[in-house]
Each structure stands twice: as structure tokens, then as C-alpha cells.
Amino acid sequence: MPRIRIHISPDSPLRDSCQGLDFDQLWARFSGESVRSRRRRQVLRCEFDGQVLFAKRFISVQPKNWLRLRFSQQPRAQSQAGREAAICQLLQRMGFYPPKLSLWAEELGPWREQRSLLVCKEHAGPPLCDKSKLLSDDAYLLAIASKLGAIEAAGIHLPDLGTDHVFLLPEGKIGLLDFTNARSAPRPSAREVARAILRFFLSPRAELMLARGVQQAWAEQYCQAAHREDALSKWKTLAKERLR
């Protein structure tokens, strides 16, 4: 029999309606329009009790990723949803702005995760990729680089950040999204940091930034804020290869 763990945030509006549901009932309840789908995971946009939520469903786990979850990376977790929830909690404690968690659940087999589920609230602002004017504002983009570099300096490596994963919140705050490959340890290599920067310039509508030639200044600002100037030479090599 699989082991089931269900965690509902204490202040979640779903607490009363989801209390007592088993894993299969939760899995079925959070269904909706597919926003992104891959072989082993789906992101669904759901409407639940009058509010918009996003449910991330993980369907099994590759052996190499299970080893990372359980042994070689931190925070340690038994499921992919559990890892993302832990990263969200770390970021929030550090003063950054991940999406607000509503619940997460995991179904664990004898050796590894079978399924897991993460449900969070919609960010209260648009993604950066929807704001053409800001993608052409060099000063604003460099400020984004500083804020993202500060997360790296704080010890959280977010390799999948892009214009579609950075959200513009009220009061000038920056919301974050997608922590599938995030970790707090081990420390990323210079090449991994460079690849995270490259990912930003391969994300949706990045051509607006590239057309202005801001990528080198952005990388320098990010690395300075992250205290990872050692990644700049790796970045230059990757940029020559991939950003032609």
C-alpha cells in the first residue's frame, strides 16, 4: 500500500473543503485547463471556490531525480511536490515572493514517489513576458538582474527562471515561479550559474532584450549581486554559442 501525506497550509481557504479528502479525491478535484504538460508533470489552471489556483501534478519520478531528492541535493524531500514546497517556504522566509501555497500532497511507493501534487494561488500580477515596454527598459531589466542575483547569493539556485517565471507584483515586488530544479545545496558550479542566465535569454519574448544588446550588462549585474563573478567567462562562452 502506498503511503500518503497531505499538507494543507494553516491559512489556506481550502482547509475546510479539502480536510478529510484522500489523495485520489484531491488529485481529481484539482483538474482544469492544461497550462503546460510534459510526460511526467502537468500544470493545470483551476477555479476552486471562486478563486484561481494552479495545480502542478507530478506523475512518477525518474530514478536520477529521485536520488537528487533523497540524497544528493537539499532541501531533502520524498517527492517533487515536497521539494517545491520546501523551496517556496525557504524563499518566503528569506523575504522573496514565491506563489502562496495552498496545499501539497504525496503518494509514496515502497522505494520512491508514485504521484505528488502542489497547489498554489495565482500571482497578483502579470509575468514579465507580457510587458513589452519593460522588456525594452534597460534600467528596469538590470534591477531585475540584481533581485534575481540576490536569490542566488542567499543560497537558492533557481536554474529555470525566465520572463515567464518572473511576475510583477504590487509595490515593485518580484514574484517567482517554477522550482522543479531548484535547490539550496550543493552550491552550483560556475557553468550552472551561466546556464541559468542563458535560460533567461531563451525565455518568451527575450528577443526584445537581445535586440537592445542588454544581455552582457544583465549577466554582469546578476553575477555581481550573486557574488558569482566566476561565472562570467562561462556565460560569455555559452552566449556566443547559443545567442547568435
Q: With 80 as the cut, is the pLDDT of residue 244 above it?
A: no
pLDDT at 41: 94
**Residue whose C-alpha is closest to residue 15's, from 6, 23, 24:** 6
The number of angstroms, rounded, from the C-alpha of 84 to the middle of its chain's C-alpha atoms is 8
The residues spanned by each domain of the chain are 3-121, 128-242
Read off the pLDDT of residues 39-92 as tens digits, 9 standing for 90 and up. 899 999 998 878 899 999 999 999 999 999 999 999 999 999 999 999 999 999
196-217 average pLDDT score: 97
Query: What's the confidence (pLDDT) of residue 144?
Result: 97
Distance CA 127, CA 174 (A): 10
Summarize pLDDT for 178-200 with one digit per residue, the tens. Answer: 999 999 999 999 999 999 999 99
CATH says 3-121 is which class?
alpha beta
Q: What is the mean pLDDT of residues 110-130?
A: 95
Domains 3-121 and 128-242 share a fold: no
CATH number of 128-242: 1.10.510
pLDDT band at residue 1 using 50, 70 and 90 as cut-offs: confident
8 Å CB contact between 223 and 235: yes
Cα separation values, 140 from 13, 28, 111, 136, Å: 35, 41, 47, 9
Give the mean model confidence (pLDDT) for residues 131-137. Answer: 96
Note the pLDDT of residue 135: 96
pTM of this prediction?
0.95
Please tell me the predicted confidence (pLDDT) of residue 98. Answer: 98
